[in-house]
Amino acid sequence: MVKEKQNNQPEKSPAKKSVKNAIKKSGKTSDQKKKALKKSGNKKTDASTGERKYVLDSVLVINNAQTIHGQLTALINAKQNIVIDASSVEMADTSILQLLLSFVKKIHTQNLKVRWENPSHELLSRAEMLDLKERLGLAGS
Amino acid sequence: MDSDINIDMSQFHEVFFEECAEGIEIMETGLLNLTDQSDSEVINTIFRAAHSIKGGGGTFGFAEVSDFTHGMETILDEMRNARLGVAPEVVQLLLTAVDCLREMVQCCKLGEPFNEEVISDLKSKMNECAQHAEQGAPKQDTVVSDSAAEDTSITTWHISFNPHENLFFTGNDPFRLIKELHTLGELNIDVNSERLPDFSEMDAQNCYLGWDMELRGNILEEQIDEVFAWVEGYCELEIRNAEDRRKEEYDRREQDRRADEPEARRRKGDKSVSLSQESTSIRVGIDKVDGLVNLVGELVITQSILSQVCIDLGLDQAERLSDSLAQLERNTRDLQEQTMSIRMLPVDFAFQRLPRIVHDLSRTLGKKIDLKFSGETTELDKTVLEKIGDPLMHLVRNAVDHGIEAPAQRIASGKSETGLINISAYHQGGNIIIEISDDGAGLNTEKILNKAIERGLVDSAEELTDAQVQNLIFSAGFSTAEQITDVSGRGVGMDVVKRNMTDLGGMVDVASRPGKGSKFTIRLPLTVAILEGQMVRVANQIFIIPLLSIIESIQISSEQINVVAGASELYHYRDEYISVVRMHELFDIQKQEDDEIRLLVVIDVGGRRLGLLVNDVVGQQQVVIKSLKKNFRDVPGVAGATVLGNGSVALIIDPQGIAQNYKSVEAS
Amino acid sequence: MASILLVDDSASMREMVSFTLREAGHDVSEAEDGVIALDFAGGKAVNLVITDVNMPNMDGITLTAELRKLPDYKFIPILILTTETGTVKKEQGKVAGATGWIEKPFDPDNLLSTVNRVL
């Protein structure tokens, strides 16, 4: 039998949290859904500037890498400039940063742009550590 | 390092000591059952036990224990890899080591110094033994570090780190490794994304990035190796000293590793997937349990008083009230039973040391003996259990020493060469019975009788049955130097065994047939805290006599009591004369007019009979024994007290204590 | 801070390790052997697994390999408790997918700093 003892409030495992949000995100999002969802990687179309916005979760780990890959693929297919809201990022492992790198490269090959909105300190320092800050376009942030 | 948590290890010591005790038992039992190489499961079990103790010893600060056990573990490891055979000398060496380990742990517990001589002697013997193992696999794989450079100067290291695609599947992350490198010195880093495929083709769970780094500082190569130790084999790693241009190729090593078929899957899921048989258990301090038992005892008394009050107030006619009280009584009894059972443990705990004793002693004496158990799961109270270990040991030793004959002698008398000692336990009434029987030579009744007469325990003219003679061995003063073969120096003898049993409220006796064998029967109450008692009235006082000791109660008249030589009074009970104890006089209680003293309670005390003369019997009841020891001196004849339903206190009689005042059964 | 699954058949080790980790603010679930641990893992995800190697019923190496098959446990750090001279075990652990190891005997500081390395 497994003995458990909780010190704090039970924290849902990060994996589960992101997956849960991911499930909410799939498919087209309506305005109502947009309001209901918290910061959860939903995509908004800003028709005026032709930009697609993508909000990054606070915890980005390899368990969700495939899901995020799917979401980013959709963005690529949208063939629009991308704005990534990275203000909530508290943790991003190498696999996700690698993913973002590949994504940014791909967008660039389409002659489109990726803009970062309020990248969190965490994201910046992690990217810097892996020498990805410039490559991701976060330099100067 | 960073953390400054000061954790006091001593809080874990107790559990560790308990584990050591368990592990030692496992090792001993395993070793005793180990016959040959094919017992790989047994060898593994013994190995794991040693390994565990070794690890714990190191962790909790008992380095000598860890070191010593390491010696045992090495031998066992050789055994389980078939590099060392299971020879009797090796098993004996390990058994001796187990003994030494047991003592070491005891010394640790008590804070006493070790017996260094014995320890180092055994250590060197174990070492020797391990050396004899075939030199098969290489020993410690100590990494030969060729950077002997005791460099105190700054070095610049070029590090090229290219993880394999599957790196992430080990739970490792390059980020953490790079972060660690930063702590060693100044790090410059360039990412290499050549292998990164097109977004649509990449597997998000693979690692395609690599890094070239330059690390500057007062850093030894080992330190860098250490950072990457976990991911060796999952990356291409090059570490070059910028000054030196040495090249280390980890992929070569990694390829060698891939060549060996790992045994990681040797123990598959088809091995017994039985979930731990013990459901759940928690460790509870014995004092907590005792506290609980005590409280429940108080509850029983209170409930009893309540019932009495109900009757006294004439409320027993109120049906609902008396029904509820009856229910309360049942609930309380159940609660008490459950609580008592918490303290119950299987008797085989007391049997644990016996196989070893029989094994060693029979070897020394050159005898062949089989030891069999039955009823090991029979339960009894923990306190009782703890106290019967020594007496049991003595009885078994006795059976090996004096009971079973030498093989030649056995064959000569038409018996099988191997003697049998049988220990069985079972419940009977409210007691546990433990029988130790052997098929040896039996007791020499004549010799015993002569010795008893010699020591003035028995009058030469007395007529005693065989059984009575045999039970004389339990008399104080009977044990002779011949019988004390216990090396521990403690004064042991059959009389001590008997006293141990009676102290617990039980008894022991022996039945023997010459040439066939002997059987010692131990009878013990299942619990020490409550007692089935017979309430008797002596004038206006109530006494409790343990039901266990009562044979019967009979009404008599004063004419039936014979006075002998102005001293003791006797009563002709069946075919013997038994001493009569006048309770009023013994306890100095005023006799009352018209209150006939006419009841004789015949009790049995270790084979002897006595009659207690009282006014009347009042009833039978389970009573909670309350000890008087805290506030009063020990009074012989009084075992404790209890509180009755009416709130008054009743003393509990200790038959043994009373019997001692009325020594020999005078006859003729 | 993190939820940890601790697997060790030695009660004293479990006590010491879980006490240390809880003092540091982590949640610790304990299992006394690999089979129980695997059963637990089938229903719950954690942030870190720490397992001894020598255990009855299922050893730590096998446990590691089995855990890696569970979706929730594919990428989380799994640390095995090895003895200093146990190079073979370290290698086997790696092959089975362990993240790294903690060498026995260790003190609470070792333990915590290694745990911090992976969380």
What digits encode the pLDDT tens for the residues B390-433?
A: 889 889 988 888 888 889 989 998 899 899 999 999 988 778 89
DSSP B317-372: G-HHHHHHHHHHHHHHHHHHHHHHHHTEEETHHHHTTHHHHHHHHHHHHT--EEEE
Q: What is the CA radius of gyration of chain A?
A: 16
Cis, bond preceding C105 (omega within 30 deg of 0) = yes
Tens-of-pLDDT digits for all 141 residues of chain A? 444 444 444 444 444 444 444 444 444 444 544 444 444 455 555 544 578 899 999 999 999 999 999 999 999 999 999 999 999 999 999 999 999 999 999 999 999 999 999 999 999 999 999 999 999 999 876
Q: What is the mean pLDDT of chain B?
A: 81
Shortest CA distance to A130 belongs to which of B212, B237, C77? B212
Which of A124-128, B525-529, B659-663 has the least mean pLDDT?
Answer: B659-663
The amino acid present at B338, given as its one-letter code, is Q
Which of A106-115, B144-153, B327-336, B437-446 has the least mean pLDDT?
Answer: B144-153
| % of chain B at pLDDT higher than 70 | 85
CB contact under 8 A, C37 and A2: yes
- Nearest-CA distance from B422 to chain A in Å? 38
Subunits that touch chain A (at least 3 Cβ pairs < 8 angstroms)?
A: B, C
φ/ψ of B454, rounded to 5, equals -55, -45
Question: Which 243-282 residues of chain B touch chain C by CB within 8 A?
Answer: 257, 262-265, 267-269, 271-276
CB contact under 8 A, A94 and B174: yes
Please indicate, yes or no, if residue A22 is contained in any of the structural domains.
Answer: no
Q: How far is CA B20 from CA B164, B353, C10, in A?
A: 44, 15, 10
Measured CA to CA, the distance from residue A62 to residue B176 in angstroms comes to: 14
What was the pLDDT predicted at B5?
Answer: 58
Q: How far is CA B285 from CA B342, B527, C5, in A?
A: 12, 18, 27
C27 near A CB under 8 A:
yes
C99 near A CB under 8 A:
no
Q: How many CB atoms lie within 10 A of CB B99?
A: 16
Measured CA to CA, the distance from residue B577 to residue B575 in angstroms comes to: 7
Give the 3-state secondary structure of residue B516.
coil
CA trace torsion B259, B264, B265, B269 (10° rounding) = -170
Q: Chain B: residue nearest A62 by CA? A: B205
CB-closest option in B16, B232, B275 to C36: B275
Measured CA to CA, the distance from residue B554 to residue B539 in angstroms comes to: 18
Contact C33, B276 (CB under 8 A): yes
Give the 3-state secondary structure of residue B203.
coil
Give the 3-state secondary structure of residue A138.
coil
Look at C79 and B624; give whichever has higher pLDDT: C79
What was the pLDDT predicted at B267?
Answer: 32
Question: Which 9-38 residues of chain B touch chain C by CB within 8 A?
Answer: 9, 11-12, 15-16, 18-19
Interface test with B, best of A131, A132, A134, A135 (most B CBs within 10 A): A131
The amino acid present at A109, given as its one-letter code, is T
Interface test with B, best of C5, C13, C83, C111 (most B CBs within 10 A): C13
Per-residue pLDDT, averaged over C88-106, amounts to: 90
Q: Which residues of A touch C5 (CB under 8 A)?
A: 2
B271 alpha carbon, distance to own chain's centre: 30
Interface test with A, best of B160, B167, B175, B194 (most A CBs within 10 A): B175
What was the pLDDT predicted at B509?
Answer: 87
CB contact under 8 A, C65 and B19: no
- Nearest-CA distance from C106 to chain B in Å? 6
What was the pLDDT predicted at C114?
Answer: 93
CB contact under 8 A, A3 and C30: yes
Q: At what angle do helices B319-342 and B286-312 cross, to 10 degrees?
A: 160
CB contact under 8 A, B191 and A131: yes
CATH number of the domain that residue A51 is part of: 3.30.750.24
Q: If one looks up domain B346-525 in CATH, what number appears?
A: 3.30.565.10
Place of tokens 């500057």: B216
Please indicate, yes or no, if residue A60 is contained in any of the structural domains.
Answer: yes
What was the pLDDT predicted at B349?
Answer: 82
Look at B178 and B289; give whichever has higher pLDDT: B178
Structure token pair of residue A66 = 């495939």
Q: Which residues of A touch B280 (CB under 8 A)?
A: 1
Q: How many CB atoms lie within 10 A of CB B517?
A: 23
**For domain B530-661, which CATH number applies: 3.10.129.10, 2.60.40.10, 3.40.50.2000, 2.40.50.180?**
2.40.50.180
A117 near B CB under 8 A:
no
CATH architecture of C3-118: 3-Layer(aba) Sandwich (3.40)
CB contact under 8 A, C108 and B274: no
Q: How many CB atoms lie within 10 A of CB C55?
A: 23
B485 alpha carbon, distance to own chain's centre: 24
Q: Which residues of C touch A8 (CB under 8 A)?
A: 1, 25, 27
Read off the pLDDT band of B94 (50, 70, 90): very high
- Nearest-CA distance from B357 to chain C in Å? 28
Contact B418, B409 (CB under 8 A): no
Task: Map out the domains of chain B as residue ranges.
Answer: 9-131, 155-255, 286-343, 346-525, 530-661
Per-residue pLDDT, averaged over B639-652, amounts to: 85
B541 alpha carbon, distance to own chain's centre: 43
Q: Which residues of A touch B168 (CB under 8 A)?
A: 62, 94-95
Q: Is the pLDDT of residue B246 over 50?
A: no
CB-closest option in A65, A66, A130 to B175: A130
- Nearest-CA distance from A128 to chain C in Å? 19
A37 near B CB under 8 A:
no
Per-residue pLDDT, averaged over B467-479, amounts to: 77
Q: Chain B: residue nearest C105 by CA? A: B59
Per-residue pLDDT, averaged over B282-300, amounts to: 81
Q: Chain B: residue nearest C104 by CA? A: B55
Beta bridge partners of B426: B433
- Nearest-CA distance from C67 to chain A in Å? 15
Shortest CA distance to B621 belongs to which of B529, B530, B524, B537? B530
CB contact under 8 A, C28 and A5: yes
What was the pLDDT predicted at B576?
Answer: 79
Per-residue pLDDT, averaged over B255-281, amounts to: 41
CATH architecture of B155-255: 2-Layer Sandwich (3.30)
- Nearest-CA distance from B57 to chain C in Å? 8
What was the pLDDT predicted at B252?
Answer: 47
What was the pLDDT predicted at A86?
Answer: 95
Please indicate, yes or no, if residue A114 is contained in any of the structural domains.
Answer: yes
Beta bridge partners of A4: C29
> Rounded to a whole number, what is the distance in angstroms from the first to the last CA of chain A?
50
C100 alpha carbon, distance to own chain's centre: 10
Q: Which residues of C touch A91 (CB under 8 A)?
A: none
What was the pLDDT predicted at B278?
Answer: 41
B299 near A CB under 8 A:
no
Predicted TM-score of the model (pTM): 0.55
Cβ neighbourhood burial of B125 (10 Å; 0-12, 13-18, 19+):
middle
Phi-psi region of B262 (alpha: psi -120 to 50; beta: other; left: phi over 0): beta
DSSP C72-90: GGSSS-EEEEEETT-HHHH
Q: Is the pLDDT of residue B189 over 60?
A: yes
Q: Chain A: residue nearest C15 by CA? A: A3
Q: Is the pLDDT of residue B530 over 80?
A: no
The amino acid present at B356, given as its one-letter code, is R
CB contact under 8 A, B204 and A62: yes
What was the pLDDT predicted at B561?
Answer: 76
What was the pLDDT predicted at A91?
Answer: 93
Q: Which residues of C touch A14 (CB under 8 A)?
A: 47
Read off the pLDDT band of B247 (50, 70, 90): very low
What was the pLDDT predicted at B342?
Answer: 85
Q: How far is CA B445 from CA B485, B604, C22, C115, in A?
A: 21, 22, 67, 72
Read off the pLDDT band of B562 (50, 70, 90): confident
Q: Is the pLDDT of residue B355 over 80?
A: yes
Shortest CA distance to B404 belongs to which of B437, B374, B435? B437
Contact B207, B168 (CB under 8 A): yes
Please indicate, yes or no, if residue A100 is contained in any of the structural domains.
Answer: yes
Q: How many CB atoms lie within 10 A of CB B394?
A: 22
DSSP B390-435: HHHHHHHHHIIIIISPPHHHHHHTT--SSEEEEEEEEEETTEEEEE
C29 near A CB under 8 A:
yes
A11 near C CB under 8 A:
yes
Subunits that touch chain C (at least 3 Cβ pairs < 8 angstroms)?
A: A, B
List Cβ neighbours of A5 (8 Å cut-off, separation of 6 or more).
C18, C22, C27, C28, C29
List Cβ neighbours of B343 (8 Å cut-off, separation of 6 or more).
B286, B289, B290, B293, B381, B382, B383, B527
Please indicate, yes or no, if residue A41 is contained in any of the structural domains.
Answer: yes
B197 alpha carbon, distance to own chain's centre: 64
What was the pLDDT predicted at B257?
Answer: 54
The domain of A68 spans 36-136
Q: Is the pLDDT of residue B332 over 60?
A: yes
What was the pLDDT predicted at A46?
Answer: 53
Structure token pair of residue B110 = 């008590």
- Give, as one character, the DSSP assignment of residue B528: S
What was the pLDDT predicted at B663?
Answer: 57
What was the pLDDT predicted at C84?
Answer: 66
Q: How do residues B142-187 score in pLDDT, each as one tens digit?
A: 444 444 444 467 889 999 999 999 999 999 999 999 999 999 999 9
CB contact under 8 A, C57 and B271: yes
Contact B621, B569 (CB under 8 A): no
Read off the pLDDT band of B276 (50, 70, 90): very low
φ/ψ of B529, rounded to 5, equals -100, -25
Measured CA to CA, the distance from residue B133 to residue B553 in angstroms comes to: 72
To the question of domain B9-131 being in CATH 3.20.20.100, the answer is no
Q: Which residues of A touch B276 (CB under 8 A)?
A: 1
Split into its structural domains, chain A has a count of 1
Look at B380 and C60; give whichever has higher pLDDT: C60
CB contact under 8 A, A1 and C72: no
Q: How far is CA B416 from CA B310, B406, B513, B577, B663, in A?
A: 67, 11, 17, 44, 43
CB-closest option in B179, B202, B280 to A1: B280
Q: Is the pLDDT of residue C4 over 80?
A: yes
What was the pLDDT predicted at B626?
Answer: 79
Read off the pLDDT band of B265 (50, 70, 90): very low
What was the pLDDT predicted at A51?
Answer: 86
Structure token pair of residue B524 = 């013990």
Phi-psi region of B524 (alpha: psi -120 to 50; beta: other; left: phi over 0): beta
What was the pLDDT predicted at B309?
Answer: 82
Q: Is the pLDDT of residue B114 over 50?
A: yes
Measured CA to CA, the distance from residue B233 to residue B223 in angstroms comes to: 18
Beta bridge partners of C115: none
Measured CA to CA, the distance from residue B76 to residue B87 in angstroms comes to: 12
- Give, as one character, the DSSP assignment of residue B472: G
Q: How far is CA C112 from CA B6, B663, C26, C94, in A?
A: 12, 70, 11, 21
Interface test with B, best of A4, A107, A129 (most B CBs within 10 A): A129
